[in-house]
Amino acid sequence: MRKLTLKIMLSLFIVLMIGSFIPRLWIQILSRELPNKEVIGSNIFAYGMIFTAFITLMLFTTAINYLIVKRVHSLSVAAKKIAKGNYDIHLTVEGHDEISELTSSFNKMSEELKANEYLSKEFARNFSHELKTPLSIIKGYAELMDPSISDEQEIEEYRSIIIRETERLSTLSKTMLQMSILDSTTIVNKEDAYNVTEQLREVLQFMQLEYEEKQMQLNLDVEEIMLKNNQELTHQIWVNLLSNAVRFADPNTTISLSLKKINQELVFKLTNEGETIPIDKQDKIFQLFYVVEESRTEHSSGVGLSLTKKIVEKLDGTITFESTNKETTFTVKLPMT
């Protein structure tokens, strides 16, 4: 509170100077005919002292009201409005002291709450849509499985579609649960010691059928690295990024993957060949439920990359990407300790 304290001390000094000068001048004018030794004992002097105290108190009260009380009252009123759900509030920042900084922080808080309110509404809208689509598909094809209107081949086809959409719903629900857990977790365990290279090999083995079905080749450049971090969360990073790379890569292409230790950081790079992400949409790909092309909604719900980014940030790392010349590369950097 240094700046504010300095203002109060300066105000007090000015008030005392003014409060003592005016009554002194008044006493001198009214007591000109009295001998000096009688001035102190006169009523004029007593009245002058009372007037001095009154002037000093009024001026100091006015200064404190302007410097502190009025501004704190504005913050209090605004805080009550925020508590009632009114986030469209912006206070005028006056001066350059601690209360000014508090007011500025309050404005930022109000803006963030307003943005979060919008995101919450947007989330509810998008999540409802993501649930509605597969549920409508499941309901529609379930009705078509009536033997009186469909033959056995069609029923089998409808059954496959229902299974696919059910799996999609299950994945979406699991992902949203993971995001909810991450949002509510302030401290993440980073004490697991494990071979991250071996973990990556296990993920590749798990996904072997997916990339072999598209006749894709793997180009691996990995080092044997022991990592101290959260084993479960890093596993989720590799699964999400590799699934995404395989899903959107062209058939008969190559996925390049590297894992290195560079300057006390784990650096993971993943490159796939296929349709690139348009420049005007690249700043949105980590947004929840965002899908680059509407035609991709059948294969993606737009939550995988958002979850991946959240995990990486919880682990104090960074995730970036480049998408040019028919190649898209994601880079993840995590601290080694």
Task: List per-residue pLDDT tens for the chain, 337 residues long.
Answer: 466 667 667 777 776 676 666 666 665 655 555 455 454 555 555 666 676 677 777 777 777 777 677 777 788 888 888 777 777 788 888 777 777 788 888 888 877 777 666 556 655 665 665 677 678 888 888 888 888 888 888 888 888 888 888 877 777 777 666 766 776 666 788 889 999 999 999 999 888 888 888 999 999 999 999 999 999 899 989 988 998 888 888 999 999 999 999 988 999 999 999 888 777 777 778 776 556 554 444 555 567 788 889 889 989 999 999 988 889 999 999 998 7
* Residue 325 covered by a domain: yes
pLDDT value, residue 270? 95
Which residue range forms the structural domain that includes residue 136? 118-184
If asked whether residues 171 and 197 sit together in one domain, one would say no
Please report, for the domain that includes residue 144, its CATH number.
1.10.287.130
If asked whether residues 141 and 271 sit together in one domain, one would say no
If asked whether residues 175 and 221 sit together in one domain, one would say no
* Residue 237 covered by a domain: yes
Q: What is the strand order of the sheet 217-222 is part of?
A: 217-222, 254-262, 265-273, 327-335, 318-324
Exposed / middle / buried, residue 200 (Cβ in 10 Å: 0-12, 13-18, 19+): buried
Please report, for the domain that includes residue 311, its CATH number.
3.30.565.10
Predicted TM-score of the model (pTM): 0.56
If asked whether residues 213 and 242 sit together in one domain, one would say yes
If asked whether residues 30 and 122 sit together in one domain, one would say no
If asked whether residues 247 and 123 sit together in one domain, one would say no
Is residue 207 helix, strand or coil? Answer: coil
If asked whether residues 323 and 208 sit together in one domain, one would say yes
* Residue 94 covered by a domain: no
Q: Which of 184, 210, 241 is the last residue before a domain boundary?
A: 184
* Residue 93 covered by a domain: no
H-helix or E-strand spanning residue 212: helix 208-213
* Residue 106 covered by a domain: no
Contact 305, 325 (CB under 8 A): no
If asked whether residues 328 and 269 sit together in one domain, one would say yes
Structure tokens at 274: 């296929």
* Residue 41 covered by a domain: yes
If asked whether residues 155 and 264 sit together in one domain, one would say no
pLDDT value, residue 202? 92
* Residue 71 covered by a domain: yes
Total domains, the chain: 3
If asked whether residues 262 and 302 sit together in one domain, one would say yes
Cβ-based neighbour number of residue 52 at 10 Å: 19
If asked whether residues 199 and 256 sit together in one domain, one would say yes
Q: Which of 133, 157, 184 is the last residue before a domain boundary?
A: 184
* Residue 109 covered by a domain: no
For strands 254-262 and 217-222, give the pairing: parallel
If asked whether residues 221 and 151 sit together in one domain, one would say no
Q: Which of 149, 184, 219 is the last residue before a domain boundary?
A: 184
pLDDT value, residue 296? 47
CA–CA gap between residue 241 and residue 271 (Å, rounded) = 10
